[in-house]
Amino acid sequence: MTATIISGKEVASQIRSELKQEVDQLIQQGVQPGLAVILVGDDPASHSYVKGKEKASIELNFYSEVHRLSADVSEQEVLSLIDRFNRDPKIHGILVQLPLPAHISEKAVIQAIDPQKDVDGFHPVNVGNLYTGLPAFLPCTPHGVIQMLKRSGVQIAGKNAVVIGRSNIVGKPMAQLLLAENATVTICHSRTKDLTSFTKQADILVAAVGRAGTVTADMVKPGAAVVDVGVNRVDGKLVGDCLFDEVSQVAGLITPVPGGVGPMTITMLMYNTVESAKRSLVR
């Protein structure tokens, strides 16, 4: 068997053209979606992701502000900037690129963002709303995974879903979103004993570990949908958490790295910003 490859680029471009129409309508109603991005430090990958966010904002005709701050900026300066954006009616979404330098508290920064502008979905209010089934901004990467599965015709309800990884950004919200779609969900992590006994049961397997080669062909149920969220550099090459060549011989569907989940992350950020702009019309 050779798996069907789900192209994140294609799904992302489909969603972006839907968003373009929504932005045109919002602008006709007098609201231009506005996104403010804060980047601290010199991490090349973060700079590249932020550039992608700026480019997508401009292409969708958003009002866009990107603040690139030096690595030695104080936490207070970042908090002051967030406070300014919280009060600015032109801004519907605020995003602070992670990771932050060690002297700045990620928790303090996330909690300073107005939950109504938290388009990353990381604020405890949005996390709590997601867990209790209330309207929330959904974290971009796991929301992107759900969109990729649904738009590829994967039925989620009633399926066994296994998520490997328990980060706040991907693993935990991923499990919650699959549960909200009525999957039977198992979360595995670094202390899980006999990982294969769990992954072999998975109709939907999401790998979000951040370690190349974690998922091998013998760990996958034939025909499963395998979603690879890992982004790892090995010998200068970008690879996921799955051994793509061998896993794709067993899986029914698989997402590649690059070109799989990655492009969806930025697109779902644009989606959340449009949602926030729409909500501002009814406030």
Ligand X SMILES: Nc1nc2c(c(=O)[nH]1)N[C@@H](CN(C=O)c1ccc(C(=O)N[C@@H](CCC(=O)O)C(=O)O)cc1)CN2
Binding residues for NADP(+): 165-167, 231
Of 79 and 98, CB closest to ligand X: 98
Binding segment toward ligand X, per CB under 6 A, in 62-70, 93-101, 142-150, 191-199: 93-101
Q: What is the DSSP string of 196-225?
A: HHHHTT-SEEEE-SS-TT-B-GGGS-TT-E
Is 97 or 273 the residue whose CB approaches ligand X more closely?
97
By CB neighbour count within 10 A (0-12 exposed, 13-18 middle, 19+ buried), where does 95 fall? buried
Q: Does 126 bind ligand X (CB under 6 A)?
A: no
The nearer residue to ligand X, 23 or 140, going by C-beta atoms, is 140
- Binding residue (CB under 6 A) for ligand X from 176, 214, 265, 273: 265
Among 6, 262, 270, 273, binds ligand X (CB under 6 A): 262
Residue 140 contacts ligand X per CB under 6 A: yes
Asked if residue 101 binds ligand X (CB under 6 A), the reply is: no
The verdict on 41 binding ligand X (CB under 6 A) reads no
53 noted as active-site residue: yes
| 66: β partners | 37
> CB of 166: closest distance to ligand X in angstroms?
16
- Name the H helices within 29-117: 44-59, 75-87, 106-112
Spatial distance between the Cα atoms of 161 and 170, rounded to a whole number of angstroms: 14
Q: Which of 66, 79, 98, 108 binds ligand X (CB under 6 A)?
A: 98
We find the least distance from the C-beta atom of residue 224 to ligand X, in angstroms, to be: 20
Using DSSP bridges, classify how beta strands 237-239 and 232-234 pair: parallel, antiparallel or unpaired: antiparallel
Which residue out of 118, 120, 203, 241 is catalytically annotated? Answer: 120
Q: Is 228 a catalytic residue?
A: no
* Closer Cβ to ligand X, 3 or 37, answer by number: 37
CA distance 180 to 183: 7
Measured distance CA(65)–CA(38) in Å, rounded: 8
Q: According to the binding rule CB under 6 A, does residue 95 interact with ligand X?
A: yes
Tokens of 58: 């401009």
* Paired tokens of 133: 């089934």
* CA 230 – CA 261 distance, rounded (Å): 9
* Active-site choice (97, 116, 147, 176): 97
Establish whether 278 is a catalytic residue: no
| Active site positions, annotated | 53, 97, 120
